[in-house]
Amino acid sequence: MPAENSLTFTVPDMTCGHCVKTITGAVLAAYPNAKVEIDLGTKRVTVENAGDRAAVASVIEAEGYSPADA
């Protein structure tokens, strides 16, 4: 069960390990205390201890990806 302060996105254009590294790095740069979990197989990104949904989505979008509600 995800934590109460957990945000989950589906990122359909996340296709490889480089994508995972890029998204993880961007989120951690913006939110150093965040916990990022990515399941490339399901294209899900879960972020705990970060900003609100729109702010985290903006960080992912700034890297060229298209996060959607999971």
Residue pLDDT, tens place only, 26-59: 999 999 999 999 999 999 999 999 989 999 999 9
Q: Is the pLDDT confidence value at 3 over 80?
A: no
Q: Is the pLDDT confidence value at 14 over 70?
A: yes
User: What integer is the mean pLDDT of 9-23?
Assistant: 98
* Torsion sign (Cα): 14, 16, 18, 24: positive
What b-and-e string marks burial along 28-65, b requiring 16 or more CB atoms within 10 Å of the CB?
A: bebbeebebebeeeebebbbbebbeeeebbebbeeeeb
With a pLDDT cut of 70, the percent of the chain lying above it is: 94
**pTM here?**
0.92
User: What is the model's pLDDT at position 1?
Assistant: 46
Q: Collapse the DSSP code of 32 into the 3-class scheme (helix H, G, I; strand E, B; otherwise coil) and give the result.
A: coil
- CA 23 – CA 64 distance, rounded (Å): 9
| pLDDT band per the 50, 70, 90 thresholds, residue 4 | low
* Paired residues of 8 in beta bridges: 46
